[in-house]
Chain A
């Protein structure tokens, strides 16, 4: 079945450590996104990529980095510079072909806890 896989589901890290969250899709989508979800704040866009080897900052990119070396993969690194890294992280993808705007497909998220 096609979909988006995020791993791991739960992740625990000590403050000061970098951590990388995995996101893989087999939907053949060109565009991929990383969102951060905090209670009462909805989803905020961290980074997005419309095509391989290209990505743009979203609304809250500080303290995060990404790469897009393959169409299927869009890993997110939470660096030690991110002041409040504990959150639920969601990866999404969508097709950019066709008319209108195709919907986002989401993974099941990674809950990161930094202590």
Chain B
């Protein structure tokens, strides 16, 4: 059974700092891994999706890496801003039920960027 862990549960940093959010998963046979952002009381916004054959994906100030063999992914946020304050969720999709199968989520990391 796939389990996804995100530690710590919460993080507070000053504005401008570069930071790394970690995600680990127990079953390395994943189809892909996705990072989401969730604002309080809102839905999820997809940030980056990494296919199992890829090592990293970049979008603006965000960079996500994937090390399948060790069961780890990191989300790197450069030059953090107060607007980055949100909960960041990591989710993996296993191939057992195909490309359109369910996502297994971590509990998320709640990030607060102080002005």
Do these two chains interact?
no
